[in-house]
Copies of this chain bind each other. A is one copy, B any other.
Amino acid sequence: MKSAVVLLSGGLDSATVLAIARHDGWECRALSVDYGQRHRAELDAAARVAASLGAAEHRVVPIDLTVFGGSALTDRAIDVPSEASPGIPVTYVPARNTIFLALALAYAEVTASDAIFIGVNAVDYSGYPDCRPQFLAAFAALANLATKRAVEGASIAIAAPIVDMTKADIVRRGIALGVDYSLTVSCYNADRAGRACGRCDACRFRRQGFAEAGIADPTRYQG
């Protein structure tokens, strides 16, 4: 059985990616990162999603990115915007996907996995630079030079199955694969119970996805 590491934030996109990988026959090891994010409820969501979609394993790596800050998600002094704005928003976390993929590469090497799945999306997204296909291609080139396994001839693929899909298509695909989106948390301002603010970028893209897909939104909102 093919083996993969799946980066699992606990949000809608990565849950769908895990479902796709499972459906395509991969044994999946889920990896979440406890990086000091504001919306820690997503880590509880990741555990629920990993269990519900049959991940063989779920590991959480602690790494304190508040040491660097520079983002509304890792510096409490910076507020999450409640309206869309031009350019890359302050919720961008410096080098986050580079760090996450590097950690996934370590996990993939110790488990002799053949692929890393990541739920980046470059359609209904916030313009983060490390969600773009050219970034993923560059990481794949790096990964195939970086490890002992690579030197020994094993190759590793970086799979981003939803990178070109609209949010509505992602929701439709996940529903078809049996994803229970009520388990997921996308909101940057989620409270401890995982209830969403309904106003941040992540909430807006998510809500719009359900609406355009014509599927009832199972998100629990605050207040």
Residues in chain A within 8 A of chain B (CB atoms):
59-65, 67-70, 88, 92-99, 101-103, 105-107, 109-110, 129-130, 132, 134-135, 138-139, 141-143, 145-148, 150-151
Contacts and interface: CB of A to CB of B under 8 A. Distances in A.
B110 A69 contact: yes
A151 B138 contact: no
A95 B63 contact: no
Contacts of A68: 59, 61, 106-107, 110
Secondary structure at the A interface, as helix, strand, loop or mixed, is helix
A129 B102 contact: no
B139 A151 contact: no
Contact of A62 (B59, B63, B147): B63
B94 A106 contact: yes
A96 B175 CA distance: 38
Given A59-B67, A129-B150, 5 more contacts: A94-B148, A95-B103, A97-B146, A129-B146, A138-B138
A139 B105 CA distance: 14
Given A62-B62, A106-B94, A151-B88, A134 B145 contact: yes
B59 A61 contact: no
A78 to B, nearest CB: 12
Contact of A63 (B61, B142, B146): B61
A94 B116 CA distance: 15
Contacts of A101: 102
A8 to B, nearest CB: 15
Closest 7 CB pairs of A and B: A70-B110, A95-B106, A63-B63, A94-B109, A138-B142, A95-B105, A98-B102
A34 to B, nearest CB: 9
A63 B106 CA distance: 13
A97 B106 CA distance: 10
Contacts of A138: 138, 141-142, 145-146
Contacts of A135: 142, 145-146
A16 B48 CA distance: 48
Contacts of A130: 145-147
A133 to B, nearest CB: 10
